[in-house]
Amino acid sequence: MKIGTITKTNQKGQIVIPKTMREELGIDAGVPLNLALKDNGIYIHPVDEVFASKGGESSYLDILEKTQGAWAKEDWTTLKKKRRKIELSASRKRKREW
């Protein structure tokens, strides 16, 4: 087994990425990190550009900022009740047809 740098988590489960590794990967304060479970470990890497849009390069975070709050004004309780009503109505209709 290849051993790199060993670190421990604090009470909140947080870890510190060693300075040498942060410098090598270009991780500064505010740099988004992608965490992925792989086998029985965690793979961490900085997020740079995710994909390009038609108008040029655009990062995933830019898109999230532009669409932030698109659903914020939705009343989820009302939507859930409406959906339930529609589902029950469709169920009754299927029963009658059967």
Domain boundaries defined on the chain: 19-73
Q: What's the pTM? A: 0.44
Q: 64: burial class by Cβ within 10 Å (0-12, 13-18, 19+)?
A: exposed
Q: Per-residue pLDDT for 93 more than 70? A: yes
| Per-residue pLDDT tens digits for 21-52 | 889 888 888 888 888 888 888 888 888 765 54
